[in-house]
Structure 1
């Protein structure tokens, strides 16, 4: 077993050079926030009577409670000078707090105070719970307590002791972080074919997330003797189920589909792009590719406005409510003003269009004109209830599972109807949306069989599924997805063009379903879906003409 280690305690030098904090990435799950409840006063002190220090604590000097909370807040916020200044030993406290946090690779701790109490010698004791996120491993949780003493000037300070940082920290014992070397996991596809970063370069970001034989990164925090370095105990272990096993991770990926996805990424013309292909009947991921190959796994962790591919969900909401049918006439003008001007791609217009025509030509103004047919939260409710979007998915690798917030105003509601505003998704989500529209039933996407499933959804009515299939097929035969029309099979699809920001080219999207496979692709700054994502998915589907076994 190979270990990387770091230590902390008074006198600890700079953090080891191997230690790296993960980069801040778009689309990661929400970061851990400090939860100490604070009420700011001038000079950084905090008011009493809030959180764990309620009115029944009034017999205690409120300044003691305020000082405890301020100390915890400064520590949690990496304001070590400020925290140390609130103690009876500022120089030592600053050194220990800083080395404890950096030496153990802790970032953004959560420190939650409990109710204060007096001790027998006139001091005050404030218990607290510490949740310490250790970068790349997990959260170390423990309890400790702050002793506070009144000073000669009448103020209160934290009575500095090593044990307040952690009860086992002392003059003779300190902590050491050990990380196991899990940089080269063995991963296979569904049939046992080895998957490596050399053979499948765009899988590199995915393979790194399988480190540790399927158990994820592994490590431990040890209590060690300060002089000898001997281990006296283990405070925390990190590593999921299966940690320590050399057994390969068997994924749901299909080597043939993955190879085709690798080749298809070249059609993105060097732009950032990603795609996902999965089975319609059970959500198993067949291929997952990113371009460039290095970097984060944008296919499952990216956060993008899905643009007009989201009209699959919007159409479902309207059809479920009986607000439209395929044959309902919904005019498609060039422009529509709802707080701001919305328009169609290339300012196209289709007077007297049916809803089917609006879908196949991706008419923004028609969809926006129907916003009054849906309640404020209704689009998000449909996305969650029928498509699983916004619920917590357990895919087998870290994922962003989508967001459809309730619109703040009519302008934002108009934008959400066409997959803009604050609606967020990625290729994994949109491949799943496509599969659900085709089958009527949501299946949580997975890349490792046996993943936990906590989602709860309802099937779409058959009449809705029939109309969605018909409109998606028409989008290929007579609409904006004609780039796929020459391929064999009853392919259904939806294009998307998503605005990013003023002055930047739009992102291009395309989702499609053929047989038992649903695919989704986004090309950043691709301008249009058919023109950028279209060639990528055309290449993919051409290379693998049949369904997976």
Structure 2
């Protein structure tokens, strides 16, 4: 009798174990379908325009939290939006299009019509994504509740919206139906959000707080300068410049998620965030220095020019001015041959290779390298001179021969040390320095005097002068700190600095009345063929902790047109404001750099 009881108990236990296993398997099947549905929903949310805008390199976040969503009272309700009208369907070739189609297919594969059809469900999800500007979605599945042919699965949604620091978290529930041998989610508006119903659609309201401002180093709004407002700060809508880059910080935070009816009336407010003002972002710009740069450029008799000033200690940009004011932003994004200002880089290469200030060179009228004849400006010749003198008088032929004598790639190494790597310095449209690897000795010779394929901007050359002054090249920046820095070899700095000082005391810029102890280099850069060829004028240098670069388009010789502007800038910093000049030429589109080797 005891044996029979034990056998019965064993059979009963096995039955109970099997029943438990079957229930667990059935629950797991329901759970798997619910998770597949939620995963496809998440994938659909991750394909939206808000996410694409927020994560594209070089662009700012997808819209300000203070900007109303594109919905209007006349917009259709979410229940009537067809998939073909969704933004990611309208934009042919949108990078998210194929991914969105796969996400939609994933939802359809585990869904059956319920209170709405499946296309309407997908359209509702996408409409919610676009109106709320969702950047991500995450879902956590709860405990399955299952009957014979129906089941419910609770979930917690965590949705992130562009411009909102905290996510929107809410509970939801999926209703599933057994179809054939498997389970499917029933399409319903309430499965998207428990308060969503026919005739209602989601929207978001902007913050009523204030947008932050971009400030100069002393806390003054950069917008006070029309020049900076147009070429650096940018605008909010459409977002450009620093307003675009830092929109996520400048935008006021807070606002609400609302449900609107077909007339646009708010009927419910499922979520509200506290209203807080956007950040006040302090930049490296000094409006006093900016004003001095603008006044200095106004003294030029040439109509087109640009100037950048940089802090020699950090690489932070102090000023970026263009002439005419608020014209094309040449200061930051103009690209030109550097001419003889590049001899700073060539001299650095020579000093790194073991040469010194007293290294003997020859400065004839012409020199031939690889079948190409190089000449000095105005056919000058100085005969035997040392490296310091060759730099001070900007002797092309001496520097061409010097570069030809250096070990291979030495000039390229020096160029990289000063950031001539082709990278854009700023998170807005900007140009750095480009030093393409020379293909032969002729290109090395051309590069040595800043011609050929070498190209740069006033911003880049200001950073070169700052590197000589401070001993370290810093990538220029306006917010935060430099993204890259290269220390110059300390042993070369005394000679290098003496070279720049000699230009002002004894060399090409000696006739310019600079205030104080100024270090600099003139540059005259050919940009097109001609006899004589037309040239842009440069002067780069530093005084104290302020480095600068002046460009005058079609300005002829650097000593004649660019260096006086630099002197006017320093005088303006000292409070001696210069009077503006009357331009002699009102023409001027930006000429493109050419590969011509010419005078220094």
Residue of structure 2 in register with 1:524 after alignment: 553
The answer on 1:201 being equivalent to 2:198 is no
Q: Output the CA distance in 1 between the equivalents of 2:132 and 2:560.
A: 50
Asked if structure 2 preserves the Cα contact closer than 8 Å seen for 1:203 and 1:290, the reply is no
Q: 2:101 and 2:423 mapped to 1: Cα distance?
A: 29
1:474 alignment partner in structure 2? 502
In structure 2, do the counterparts of structure 1 residues 332 and 203 end up closer, same or farther at CA, with 3 Å as the change threshold? farther
Checking the alignment, whether the CA contact within 8 Å between 1:212 and 1:218 is kept in structure 2 is no
What's the CA shift for 1:314?
0.7
Partner-residue secondary structure (3-state), 2:524: strand
Q: Specify whether residues 489 and 211 from structure 1 end up closer, same or farther in structure 2 by C-alpha distance, changes over 3 A only.
A: same
What is the Cα deviation at residue 489 of structure 1? 2.3
Q: Does 1:267 align with 2:294?
A: no
| Alpha carbons 2:425, 2:431 under 8 Å: kept | no
State how far apart, in whole Å, the 2-side matches of 1:348 and 1:98 are: 67
Matches within 5 A, 1:54-453: 99-101=90-92, 186-196=213-223, 199-201=225-227, 204-208=230-234, 209-211=241-243, 214-215=246-247, 246-322=278-354, 324-337=355-368, 338-385=370-417, 387-390=418-421, 392=423, 395=426, 397-448=428-479, 450-451=480-481, 453=482
1:496 corresponds to which of 511, 520, 523: 523
CA deviation digits over 1:82-130, x for unaligned, max 9? xxxxxxxxxxx9x9999515xxxxxx9779xxxxxxxxxxxxxxx967x
CA contact 2:302–2:552 (8 Å) conserved in 1: no
Once residues 249 and 367 of structure 1 are traced to their aligned partners in structure 2, the CA distance between those partners, rounded to angstroms, is 45
| 1:393 to partner: Cα distance | 6.2
Could you tell me how far 1:277 is from its partner in structure 2? Answer: 1.0
Task: Point out where structure 2 has 5 or more consecutive residues left out of the alignment.
Answer: 1-56, 60-83, 106-117, 134-161, 163-205, 235-240, 253-258, 267-275, 576-600
Residues 339 and 99 of structure 1: CA distance in aligned 2, closer, same or farther (over 3 Å): farther
CA distance in 2, matches of 1:169, 1:302: 47
Superposed CA offset, 1:349-401 (max 9, x none):
1111221121011111111112233345332222223x233274654644322
Distance (Å, rounded) in 1 between the aligned partners of 2:424 and 2:384: 41
Residues 394-419 of structure 1, C-alpha deviations (whole Å, 9 max, x = no match):
54644322211101222211111111
**Matched-pair contact (CA < 8 Å) for 1:397–1:447:** no
Label 1:489 to 1:96 Cα distance change in 2 as closer, same or farther (>3 A). closer
Q: Retained in 1: the 8 A contact 2:420–2:434?
A: yes
CA contact 2:251–2:279 (8 Å) conserved in 1 = no
In the superposition, the TM-score normalised over structure 1's length comes to 0.61
| CA distance in 2 between partners of 1:249 and 1:539 (Å) | 31
Matched length: 387
Give the distance between the partners of 2:381 and 2:89, measured in 1 at CA.
62
* Structure 1 alignment gaps of length 5 or more: 1-29, 33-92, 102-107, 112-126, 130-141, 148-162, 232-243
TM-score (norm 2): 0.56
1:326 is displaced (CA, Å) by 1.5
The structure with the larger Rg is 2
The whole-number CA distance in structure 2 between the counterparts of 1:333 and 1:145 is: 72
In 1, the alpha carbon distance for the partners of 2:298 and 2:363 equals: 36
- 1:388/1:201 CA distance change after superposition, 3 Å: closer
Matches of 1:170 and 1:398 in 2, distance apart?
36
Question: How has the CA–CA distance of structure 1 residues 340 and 193 changed in structure 2, closer, same or farther, with 3 Å as cutoff?
Answer: same
| Residue 186 (structure 1) shift | 3.1
Counterpart of 2:472 in 1: which secondary structure?
coil
Q: Is the 8 A contact 1:212 1:245 kept in 2?
A: no
Shift of 1:509: 0.5
Which structure carries more helix by proportion?
A: 2
* 1:474-497 residue CA offsets vs partner (Å, 9 max, x unmatched): 11011111244x333221110001
Q: Check if 1:512 corresponds to 2:541.
A: yes
**1:510 CA displacement:** 0.3
Please say if residues 186 and 213 of structure 1, whose CA atoms lie closer than 8 Å, have aligned partners that are also in contact: no
For the 8 Å contact 2:404–2:445, the answer to whether it is kept is: no
The answer (yes or no) to whether the contact 1:213–1:246 under 8 Å persists in 2 is no
Alpha carbons of 1:295 and 1:328: their partners in 2 closer, same or farther (altered >3 Å)? same
Structure 1 stretch 389-398 or stretch 334-343: which is displaced more?
A: 389-398
With over 3 angstroms needed to count, the CA separation of the structure-2 counterparts of 1:325 and 1:196, relative to structure 1, is: same
Matches within 5 A, 1:21-36: none
